[in-house]
Amino acid sequence: MLSLAAEASPDPTTWVLALALAIYVVGVLGIVIPVLPGLLLCVGAVLLWATETGGTIAWVTLGVVAVIYLMCLALQFLLPGRRMKREGVGGVTLALGVVGAIIGFFVIPGVGLPIGFVVGVLVSEYLRYRDWDRAWSATKSALRGVLHSMGIELGAALLIAITWTVGILAH
């Protein structure tokens, strides 16, 4: 009788996997709409799955995902950051762009985040150089850097999804 009750209860792995997939989807959305730490949520989803699933395959999958995440961080630091510095966009400019994005997010719901970023960078660079053409050039460079960074994160999210799928199927 006791074994029948155990068979009737839902499989907790299914619920954990569904929750982890939902977290992963929110993570990918967080990459595209940079309000949440998107890629970190994707790694957290795999961590949740590995913790609840257990076993060598789950932990190896998590280890590979962690390596992909660390490689993504390194690429984001090296490629877009180096290019922006080479083109004269400084850290203060990017910080003011982020402040502008946060303000824009609340002032113009929906589209204010990218608009605020552009305005923040443009104003910062104009105050720095006192030349609209040079400020606009630096703003375009900052936008390219942000888009490259987003592309790197989306690529890493895809590699994480593939790795996780292989881990799920192998488990």
Residues 17-38 have pLDDT tens digits of 888 888 999 988 888 877 778 8
pLDDT of residue 81 exceeding 90: no
Model pLDDT, residue 12: 52
| Residue scoring higher pLDDT (70 or 4) | 70
- Asked if residues 160 and 64 have their Cβ atoms less than 8 Å apart, the reply is no
3-state helix, strand, coil in the chain (%, to 5): 85, 0, 15
Q: What is the pLDDT of residue 10?
A: 47
How much is the pLDDT for 9?
Answer: 46
Enter the pTM of the model: 0.74
* Tens-place pLDDT, residues 106-138: 888 767 878 888 899 899 889 888 989 888 888
Q: Which of helix, strand or coil describes residue 97?
A: helix
pLDDT of residue 96: 86
Total Cβ atoms within 10 A of residue 32: 12
Between CA 149 and CA 157 the distance in angstroms is 12
